[in-house]
C-alpha cells in the first residue's frame, strides 16, 4: 500500500556504505546488484534485461576510458567554484571516441537481443557503422545540439529518443570520467545545490547513506553531491504543508519526495533499508512504478525519462 505523509526525521541506522562523493563500482559489483534486483523484481525482467548488461559493459568500459582533460580557464574555474556555480556546461565534456564506439557496438548488440522497439534501432546503428557512418561525429553530437543525431534518425526512420538513448549510454563513461576529473576542484559552497555542481544538470535520483545523509545523483554526468533533507530541492520550500513523500510498506527503501508548491518529485533510496548493493542507475530504471504513481498525482520529474523506450 502506498502512503503519503509529511517528511519527518528517521532513526539513524548503522550500515557500511561509501562516504566519498564518488563511490567506485566495478563490473563484478554491478553484475551482482543486477542479479539481486532481477530476482526481487520479476516484473522488470525486460527493462533490467536490457539495462543490466549495459551497466556491466559501462563499468568495464569506464576502467579504460580516458577522455582527456576538460578545457576550462583556471581563473573562471576558481570563480565558479567560490561563487557556487556549476563548473562547466554539459557540452564542455570530452568523449573518448574509440572507447565510446566500442561500447556503442556492444550496446547495440544488447539492444538487438532486448526486443523489437530498441532492437530495430540497434540493428540500424550496426548497419550504419558497417556502412562507414561517422560515429565519432554522432557520439560528440550527444554533447551538442544533436543535429546529426536528428538527421540520422530521420534517415534511418528510427525513433529519435531511442537513437539518442543508445548514443548517450555509449558516452556515459566519458562523462563519468570527466566528472571525476573535476570533482576535486569543488569546494564547500557546492553543497546543498538543487542542480549538479559539476555540470548544472538536474538530479535523477537521491540516496540516504548509512548515516542518514542525503545525496543527489546527476542525470547527466552522474556526479554525487550532498544536500540537506529539510526542503524541496527544486524550489527550497520548507513548509510541512508543501513537502510530503510517498512510501510503501512493501518497498521500505523507496521514498518519493513530492512538493505541492512546484509540483516536482524525486525518488530517494534509503540504503539503510536495503539488503542488496545500491547502484543508482539500476535503482532508477527499476522503479518506474514510482514515476508512474507520481505522474498520476500530477507531479513531474526534472529529468526526462527514457525508460519507456525499452518497454
> Per-residue pLDDT tens for 103-128?
999 999 999 998 777 899 999 999 99
Strand 203-208's sheet: what is its strand order?
A: 2-6, 243-248, 251-259, 265-270, 203-208, 214-218, 224-227
Torsion of CA 213, 218, 222, 223, to 10 degrees: -60
| pLDDT at 18 > cutoff 50 | no
Sorting pLDDT into bands at 50, 70 and 90, what band is 29?
very high
pTM of the model as a whole: 0.88
- Lowest-pLDDT range, 46-55, 88-97, 270-279, 296-305? 296-305
Domain residue limits at 272: 2-9+23-310
Torsion of CA 36, 37, 42, 43, to 10 degrees: 180
- Please give the share of the chain, as a percent, with pLDDT higher than 70: 88
Q: What is the CATH number of the domain that holds 267?
A: 3.90.1670.10
On the CB side of 202, CA atoms within 13 Å amount to 14
Confirm whether 110 is domain-assigned. Answer: yes
| pLDDT at 146 > cutoff 70 | yes
pLDDT of 206: 95
Confirm whether 86 is domain-assigned. Answer: yes
Q: Taking Cα atoms as reference points, which of 22, 169, 61, 44 lies closest to residue 108?
A: 169
Confirm whether 17 is domain-assigned. Answer: no
pLDDT tens, position by position, 234-261: 887 777 777 888 888 899 999 999 999 8
Sorting pLDDT into bands at 50, 70 and 90, what band is 273?
very high
Task: Please classify residue 229 by burial: count the beta carbons closer than 10 Å to its beta carbon, then call 0-12 exposed, 13-18 middle and 19+ buried.
Answer: middle
pLDDT of 62: 97
pLDDT of 17: 34
- Please give the share of the chain, as a percent, with pLDDT higher than 90: 63
Confirm whether 149 is domain-assigned. Answer: yes
pLDDT of 117: 79
Domains: count for the chain:
1
Grid coordinates belonging to 66: 580516458
Amino acid at each position: 500500500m502506498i502512503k503519503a505523509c509529511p517528511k519527518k526525521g528517521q532513526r539513524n541506522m548503522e550500515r557500511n556504505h561509501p562516504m566519498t562523493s564518488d563511490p567506485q563500482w566495478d563490473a563484478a559489483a554491478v553484475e551482482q546488484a543486477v542479479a539481486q534486483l532481477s530476482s526481487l523484481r520479476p516484473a522488470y525482467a525486460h527493462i533490467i534485461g536490457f539495462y543490466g548488461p549495459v551497466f556491466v559493459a559501462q563499468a568495464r568500459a569506464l576502467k579504460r576510458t580516458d577522455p582527456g582533460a576538460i578545457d576550462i580557464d583556471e581563473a573562471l574555474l576558481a570563480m565558479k567554484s567560490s561563487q557556487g556555480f556549476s563548473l562547466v556546461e554539459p557540452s564542455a565534456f570530452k568523449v573518448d571516441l574509440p572507447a565510446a564506439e566500442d561500447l556503442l557496438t556492444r550496446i547495440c548488440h544488447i539492444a538487438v537481443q532486448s526486443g523489437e522497439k530498441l532492437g530495430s534501432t540497434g540493428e540500424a546503428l550496426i548497419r550504419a557503422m558497417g556502412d562507414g557512418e561517422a560515429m565519432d561525429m554522432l557520439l560528440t553530437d550527444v554533447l551538442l545540439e544533436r543535429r546529426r543525431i536528428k538527421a540520422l534518425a530521420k534517415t534511418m526512420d528510427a525513433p529519435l529518443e531511442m537513437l539518442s538513448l543508445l548514443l548517450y549510454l555509449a558516452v556515459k563513461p566519458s562523462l563519468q570520467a570527466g566528472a571525476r576529473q573535476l570533482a576535486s576542484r569543488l569546494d564547500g559552497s557546492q553543497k546543498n545545490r538543487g542542480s549538479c555542481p559539476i555540470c548544472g544538470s538536474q538530479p535523477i535520483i537521491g540516496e540516504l547513506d548509512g548515516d542518514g545523509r542525503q545525496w543527489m545523483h546527476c542525470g547527466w554526468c552522474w556526479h554525487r553531491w550532498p544536500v540537506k533533507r529539510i526542503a524541496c530541492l527544486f524550489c527550497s520550500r520548507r513548509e510541512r504543508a508543501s513537502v510530503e513523500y510517498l512510501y510503501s510498506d512493501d518497498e521500505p527503501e523507496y521514498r518519493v519526495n513530492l512538493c505541492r508548491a512546484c509540483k516536482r518529485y524525486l525518488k530517494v533510496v534509503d540504503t539503510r533499508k536495503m539488503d542488496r548493493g545500491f547502484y543508482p542507475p539500476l535503482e532508477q530504471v527499476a522503479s518506474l512504478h514510482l514515476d508512474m504513481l507520481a505522474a498520476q498525482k500530477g507531479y513531474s520529474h526534472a529529468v526526462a525519462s527514457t525508460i519507456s523506450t525499452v518497454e
